[in-house]
Amino acid sequence: MNLGRFHAAIHSLNNEFQEINIAQLLAQIQAALKQSINTPNASTAEAFKASYTKTIVALSEASSNTTFPTRKKIFEDIGADRFIGNGLANKITSLFSENQITPANALAEFQTLVQQIDQFYKRITVLDDTFGAMELEYDDLEAGQFEIGLSLPRSVVGSTAVRLKAEQI
């Protein structure tokens, strides 16, 4: 993996997390769900629904959903795809769909998910800050630029360029 592209991907994750304010959105869902469990009525149910909908909409509009394929591959490789954009929206939707009858279970599972997301984004922030402090290269596509990629299985090319050259591609 190209370090410059990795740095750009990490930076974009950090920016998305801050721009969408994922931590605050998740905290709002959590608080609304707790309130709905403690005081079950139409008002608390509506507050939960509103915070849930606001979060799902924000995640569905995230830039990570429309990023270019090489960056999506980096997200997949580092496990970020389940903590961003549509991947996180789908996880949240699934979690609440599976626990409609038992809100307390939904809350417990949601709290676990929030902890995982928090840990992940703390690592992303540390990486982004460290790469920036070390002034590591930053390889990103500008508006109007494009890239063409070729992905070959390791079984074909091995782990070195020498083997690729031997394949006479």
| Domains of the chain by residue range | 3-140+149-166
Cα 135 from Cα 157, distance rounded (Å): 32
Only one residue has tokens 């949240």, namely 92
Amino acid at 103: P
CB-based contact 43:164 (threshold 8 Å): no
What is the pLDDT tens value at each position of the chain, 169 positions in all? 678 888 889 999 999 999 999 999 999 999 999 999 999 999 999 999 999 999 999 999 999 999 988 889 999 999 999 999 999 999 999 999 988 778 889 999 999 999 999 999 999 999 999 988 888 777 665 666 666 666 667 776 666 655 555 555 4
